[in-house]
Amino acid sequence: MVNRAEVREKIVETAARLLHERGAAAVTIRGVAQAAGLQPPALYRFFEDKDALLDAVAEHVFTTYVAEKSLDAASADPVADLRAGWAAHIGFGLANAALFGLLVAPGRVSPAAEAGLAVLRARIHRLARTGRLAVPESRAAGMVHAAGTGTVLTLLATPPESRDPGFADAMFEAVARQILTGPPAAAPDGTPAALPAPPTLTEAERALLAEWQNRPAPTG
């Protein structure tokens, strides 16, 4: 007896491979059926059309990614965890260009994408609990999510050989300076980030802080 769950899983995994290797245009009912060793009518027993199949593929791949991300052990530094999550998000988007485009399509409601946002909100909440947030949690999560999505789309729109290797890190630092009350985690090269001024400082206090930050270390 044919196991429907196994057949469906085979179809989705085959479509996911085609999507990754050849892009969304390659994921047709006929093409996926042929690659899976099935007749095209068999796919219609599981999916209404190509869009439904693509939705299932997006959920399959992204759910696996979110599950792995949610299992990452938290470190002692919540900012470092946020940076690690950012890097993972950028890496996933660049490695799954066609799928990423489906996930961020306007109007799309994805349970897997919502699960990913839940992981981000948990990391933002941890920052808030340690007194590191300068803005409300909802704003911080929205800014990180929007900046991360925009960063991936910008990099995907740029030929690989022309991409700025420091662009993603620079975007993280820009957002971190807006949402954090203390210095963001050091960049991958070990360079410490500048201390952003807390939003409650007066102009005179900000000037004093800037002078203190830029003052050379004493010698001797």
* Residue 217 clears pLDDT 50, i.e. is over it: no
Half-sphere exposure of 36 (CA within 13 A, CB side): 26
Residue 20's pLDDT band, with cuts at 50, 70 and 90, is confident
Q: At residue 8, does pLDDT exceed 60? A: yes
In one letter, which amino acid is 24? A
**For residues 53 and 27, what is the distance between their CA atoms, to the nearest angstrom?**
8
Residue 37 backbone dihedrals phi, psi, to 5 degrees: 75, 30
pLDDT-derived band at 201, boundaries 50, 70, 90 = very low
Residue 109 structure tokens: 């409601």
- Kindly list the distances between the CA atom of residue 186 and the CA atoms of 79, 168, 212, in Å, as whole numbers in the listed order: 9, 14, 19
**Which range scores top for mean pLDDT: 30-34, 111-115, 179-183, 190-194?**
30-34
Binned at pLDDT 50, 70 and 90, residue 203 comes out as: low
d(CA 60, CA 52) in angstroms, rounded, equals 12
Max mean pLDDT range (101-110, 152-161, 195-204): 152-161
Is it the case that residue 38 has pLDDT exceeding 80?
Answer: yes
